[in-house]
Amino acid sequence: MTEENRIHATYSIETPYAPEAAAAAMAGEQSTGTFIAVPGETPELHRRHGARVERVRTIGERDTPTLSGARSAGPFRQAEVELSFPLDNVGTALPNLLATVAGNLFELEQLTGIRLEDLRLPAAFSAAHPGPQFAIDGTRRLAGVQRGPIIGTIIKPSVGLTPDETAGLAARLARAGLDFIKDDELMANPPHSPFAERLDAVLASLDEVAEETGRRPLYAINVTDELDQMLRHVDRVAERGGNCVMVSVNAVGIAALRQVRLRSSLPIHGHRNGWGALTRHPLLGYSYRVWQQLWRLAGADHLHVNGLRNKFWEPDESVLGSARDLLQPVNGGPPVMPVFSSAQSADQAADTWAALGSADLMYVCGGGIMAHPSGVAAGVASIRQAWEAALAGVPASDYAATHTELAEALALFSAGRRR
């Protein structure tokens, strides 16, 4: 097995044992097992199919375990471990990759903490999977936005609106000049708003607006459902003339998203709800760097990254690191569109641009648009003005002196930040 045909996975671990011993247990658990008297378990089999410990670097130690389940007393040593696995063990199926690099390792009694930090994959994975169909350039083309971020919002209330009410709100948002409108992740195919009825109503309303204005925003309708039904939803969106689909990727699973990508002729907007359960603890779960690789291979064109000064737990540097990962080519595929959301407004635009250095992003604001004192159209204008100022290198406060919508937005949202 040549080096280019090995999968490399890097972990942060914590263990009451010597880190080298814990790493050896990890390698054995996720490949051929241990050298015990089992028929067929020969040194030659281990040589061909055993995982290898490539590197162990001890970082420090603590007196108490990070996670529950410790069967030995401390000290608990923390280390970085790199393992490699033969491609022949896994093939290129993404579910089987996950079972190898993020399977029973999380159950090992030798570990009181484990987090998958990085993943390097052989070229065979990029050849085996479709990857994004539209990515950044194709999304910009469909949205008609060639410079600056794609400005969007979420249909709210999250649940409760009928198909006709949703369509009316979508039309109002489209007339306000938005580039992108999406369903909430909680709105998929409920009894009060069946998918087909909502799709037809919203697209009819957006068609009317397009006749008036000459412009139709992207509408990412939430197709998340059981796999067979989800694929029918995807077909219906294309047949009806839709231009984007949204999937709650963690909920449907990576194999299901790949099927959507193979079926769909439209951009896939990947919502990451549930992501906190996989990453919020620093010694459990995955890093975003690993997570986003897998969904990009499966076909996502846009992926959520949270936003600066967001309403959730995630610090700004984590958000920016996620966005930077998406803006890099990986596994033979192009960069994809980071989606900044979660309590975004005109207040964060300059800081987002200054920190990221790229406007290849979706800037999706709920209250930052809808709660503007002068209404939705003024809310959209305030976001555009904030980004115009940022891209021109003009302080937002200076730009606001001649742009009323921005001035009103900064007065409202900056005041909230100061409290």
Q: Which of 371, 132, 358 is nearest to 267 (CA)?
A: 132
Name 60's bridge partners: 78
DSSP SS3 for 337: strand
pLDDT (tens digit, 0 to 9) for every residue of the chain, 419 residues total? 467 799 999 999 999 999 999 999 999 999 887 655 677 778 888 788 889 999 999 999 999 998 877 788 889 999 999 999 999 999 999 999 999 999 999 999 999 999 999 999 999 999 999 999 999 999 999 999 999 999 999 999 999 999 999 999 999 999 999 999 999 999 999 999 999 999 999 999 999 999 999 999 999 999 999 999 999 999 999 999 999 999 999 999 999 999 999 999 999 999 999 999 999 999 999 999 999 999 999 999 999 999 999 999 999 999 999 999 999 999 999 999 999 999 999 999 999 999 999 999 999 999 999 999 999 999 999 999 999 999 999 999 999 999 999 999 999 998 756 44
DSSP 350-403: HHHHHHH----SEEE-SHHHHT-TT-HHHHHHHHHHHHHHHHHT--HHHHHTT-
Q: Are residues 261 and 143 in the same domain?
A: yes
Here the tokens at position 85 are: 């696995």
Going by C-alpha positions, the residue among 334, 313, 393, 326 that lies closest to residue 126 is 334
| Nearest-angstrom CA–CA distance, 325 and 331 | 12
SS3 content of the chain, % helix, strand, coil (to 5): 45, 20, 35
The answer on 236 and 116 residing in a single domain is no
Q: How many domains does the chain have?
A: 2
Cis peptide before 75 (omega within 30 of 0): yes
Which residue, of 128, 152, 173, is where some domain finishes?
Answer: 128
What is the per-residue pLDDT for 34?
61
| 36 and 159, same domain (yes or no) | no
User: Are 97 and 163 contained in the same domain?
Assistant: no
Surface-to-core class of residue 347, CB atoms within 10 Å of its CB (0-12 exposed, 13-18 middle, 19+ buried): buried
Range list of β-strands (E), 159-283: 180-182, 218-222, 244-248, 268-271
User: Do β-strands 113-120 and 6-15 pair in parallel, antiparallel, or remain unpaired?
Assistant: antiparallel
Do 161 and 89 share a domain, yes or no?
A: no
343 and 301 part of one domain = yes
Q: Does one domain contain both 80 and 161?
A: no
Residues 19, 73: one domain?
Answer: yes
- Between the CA of residue 65 and those of 16, 152, 390, what are the distances in Å? 8, 44, 45
Q: Distance between CA atoms of 113 and 98, rounded to whole angstroms?
A: 18
Answer yes or no: do 272 and 332 share one domain.
Answer: yes
Q: Kindly state whether residues 124 and 270 are assigned to the same domain.
A: no
Treating both helix axes as pointing N-terminal to C-terminal, what angle do 288-298 and 254-263 enclose, rounded to 10 degrees? 40
| Model pTM score | 0.95
Question: Do residue 148 and residue 176 come from a single domain?
Answer: yes
CA-based nearest residue to 380, from 163, 142, 217, 200: 217
* One domain for residues 87 and 145: no
What CATH code is carried by the domain that includes residue 412?
3.20.20.110
Residue 103, domain extent: 3-128
Q: How far apart are CA 88 and CA 94, in angstroms?
A: 14
Q: Which of 74, 97, 128 is the last residue of a domain?
A: 128
Single residue among 91, 113, 128 that ends a domain in this structure:
128
pLDDT at 389: 98
pLDDT for the residue 312: 96
CATH number at residue 76: 3.30.70.150
